[in-house]
Structure 1
Amino acid sequence: MDQRFRNYTEWQDTADTLHLFLQMAGKVKLGRSYKRPEWAHVRMDCTIQGIGTGIIPADACNFEIYFNLAQHHVDVQNSLGARVRIPLVDGLSVADFYGQLMEALEVLGTPTPINTVPQEFHDPVPFDQDAKHHSYDREAVELFLANLQFAYRCLAGFLAPMRGKVDMPAYWFGTMDLSGNVFSGQPAPYSGTDVIGRNGFDEKFFEVGFWPGDTKNTAPSFYALPYPFLADIGTYGSLLEPSMAQFLPEESEFVLRLEDAFAARDPQKAVEDFFRSSFGILQRVDRWKDLDWITEPLTYGG
């Protein structure tokens, strides 16, 4: 297992450029997909070689947009066998990529207009006007992909045995994180008015994820976020594992840095312990009604 990583500041130019490229594909999926609760229809698939939209429905045929981050190209292809490939190279600006992506969709017969303003991004220049983000460091991207692969195993190890409604790990184009959720089945209306929160927070859930860092928190980290949000965990902080993990009341989330996970004797176990102990603390603060059934062990043999 590759235990290397880069702090966000060490590859920010490339991270931001890739983030914006992926946002465009996510917005295409958002515009054409059947709507699902908690924004599940905008989740993107993490695969062995990259990130893809999965099947996007269109009038004449289905299509997909796939970012091969190991071979460094984007394939825009449809179910009729047509494909347009966009090489990912240093110097390709966000504006240029936007033009190539829109042209590819036209060629495939699936033109899809999108909102060109980036979402949840610190520098919201419209895609078609952004010439300043144009960096692509292949080694940094490959390392990000390796980190995603490790994170997927950790998240899946925690989420897989849970019963009921579970979202397995997927990529979110807004925040550039890989995350999954286990839901309680209990309604929990959101008190805010913003469209993302109003449609994303409607029942009790526990989200686990990994993000590569951003302008506010530059260390790539795992996180656990309960909803309804926790402002305080009282005396239960002593139950949090491993010892390097912490609860951030201002963010209402538990955090374990990737660096600290890699420093553990068994990094994957350290991350899964982090998720399980965070979930256990949540249940002490606000126990879910059907917790015993949700966590009842599976009985598969072999």
Structure 2
Amino acid sequence: MEIPQTHSAQQDWPQLDFPAWQDSCATLHLWTQIIGKIRLLHMPWTNHSWHVPLYVSVRGLTTSLIACKPMSFEIEFDFIAHRLLIQIASGAQIALPLRSQSVAAFYREVTAALHALGIEAGIRTMPCELPDATPFDQDESHCAYDPEYVNRFWRALLQSTRVLNAFRARYLGKCSPVHFFWGSFDLAVTRFSGRAAPPHPGGVPNLPDWVAREAYSHEVSSCGFWPGNAGFPHASYYAYAYPEPQGYAQAKVPPDAHYDSALREFLLPYEAVRTAPDPDALLLDFLESTYAAAAALGDWDRKTLER
């Protein structure tokens, strides 16, 4: 048996220059929304929209098992073989190639494959959390797919998931899974204080205000990884608190991190983590220091909530 070579440290934390793959990133964002909305259609509502995210897998991003009638199924983006795999519990499956094609073409292919397998595919075609969005079935402009950079993005998600899971394990209170929200296109984990929060103001593009208010119904300290977008073209780790306690923006964090007053979040460049002597230590320091600021300034019951 031939044993594949392991990656070097540089490969484990791959370079992720947003401008080099921004068109592919925008297209992939919309493709994940299509698959995420299929999961949303078939899953029972769970608090804080925990029934809608995707999850990082050993090959890409997956819906995980969607257990429903008349049949259970799973959809996975495979960023190694570059295919979308739709599998049902009976053993039948359809694989669609991931390649440069429009969002509308991808939507048609996915819908046809689901119909062939007997799975309902009647999703709402308007993208979420994006201003000036075009319905999936009409979007012919987003059509890029760079397999090299998509694979790099997935590898960055793998590393981020590993460290975020280590951070999550240190908390005894209510905490989300480490999951990938296709609306905002970010990997996230959220800790809760257990207390109710003031109503969220809403105003997220193409997202009902009641969804945002339910998501932020209780006090949170949230963090994660985001590849960037056209308005902020830098892959970054982020952290924020809702509601934001007084003095949070002045919290002591690692030197490479800073508070962005426009986003109302702390940001740590992915590049700083990737090139650090100990990427895990730097990222954990960022996650712990931003949480500690939210919990201390927000008067959380830390003795009860922390391991």
Contact 1:58-1:110 within 8 A present in 2 as well: no
Pairwise CA distance, 1:57 = 3.2
Paired residues for 1:132-281 under 5 Å: 132-193=141-202, 194-230=209-245, 232-233=247-248, 236-237=250-251, 239-240=252-253, 242-281=254-293
**Greater shift after overlay, 2-11 or 124-133?**
2-11
Paired residues for 1:28-177 under 5 Å: 28-90=38-100, 92-177=101-186
Give TM-score scaled by structure 2 length. Answer: 0.90
Code of the aligned partner of 1:46: V
Q: 1:26 to 1:203 in 2, by over 3 A?
A: same
Matched, 1:292 2:307: no
**Greater shift after overlay, 203-212 or 116-125?**
116-125
What is the DSSP-based 3-state SS (H/G/I as helix, E as strand, rest coil) of the residue aligned with 1:204?
A: strand
* CA distance in 1: counterparts of 2:232 and 2:26, whole angstroms: 14
**Greater shift after overlay, 187-196 or 245-254?**
187-196
Pairwise CA distance, 1:123 = 4.9
What is the DSSP-based 3-state SS (H/G/I as helix, E as strand, rest coil) of the residue aligned with 2:177?
A: strand
Pairwise CA distance, 1:81 = 1.1
Code of the aligned partner of 1:45: Y
**Greater shift after overlay, 188-197 or 136-145?**
188-197
What is residue 299 of structure 1 aligned with on the other side?
A: none
* CA distance in 2: counterparts of 1:69 and 1:213, whole angstroms: 19
Contact 1:160-1:168 within 8 A present in 2 as well: no
Instruction: Give deviations 1:40-85, integer Å, cap 9, x for gaps.
Output: 1112111121001112233211111111111100011111111111
Code of the aligned partner of 2:174: K
What is the DSSP-based 3-state SS (H/G/I as helix, E as strand, rest coil) of the residue aligned with 2:194?
A: strand
Contact 2:86-2:94 within 8 A present in 1 as well: yes
* CA distance in 2: counterparts of 1:232 and 1:114, whole angstroms: 43
Code of the aligned partner of 2:83: H
What percent of counterpart residues are identical?
Answer: 32
Pairwise CA distance, 1:134 = 1.3
* CA distance in 2: counterparts of 1:243 and 1:21, whole angstroms: 36
Pairwise CA distance, 1:122 = 4.6
Contact 2:39-2:52 within 8 A present in 1 as well: yes
Runs of 4+ in 1 over 3 A off after TM superposition: none
What is residue 300 of structure 1 aligned with on the other side?
A: none
**Greater shift after overlay, 34-43 or 48-57?**
48-57
* CA distance in 2: counterparts of 1:196 and 1:225, whole angstroms: 19
Contact 2:244-2:294 within 8 A present in 1 as well: no
Unaligned runs of 5+ residues in structure 1 are 297-302
Give the paired residue count: 291
Contact 2:15-2:274 within 8 A present in 1 as well: no
Give TM-score scaled by structure 1 length. Answer: 0.92
Pairwise CA distance, 1:232 = 4.3
Contact 1:7-1:213 within 8 A present in 2 as well: no
Unaligned runs of 5+ residues in structure 2 are 1-8, 203-208
| Aligned alpha-carbon RMSD (Å) | 1.6
* CA distance in 1: counterparts of 2:25 and 2:224, whole angstroms: 18
What is residue 283 of structure 1 aligned with on the other side?
A: 295
Code of the aligned partner of 1:246: H
What is the DSSP-based 3-state SS (H/G/I as helix, E as strand, rest coil) of the residue aligned with 1:75?
A: strand
Contact 2:173-2:306 within 8 A present in 1 as well: no
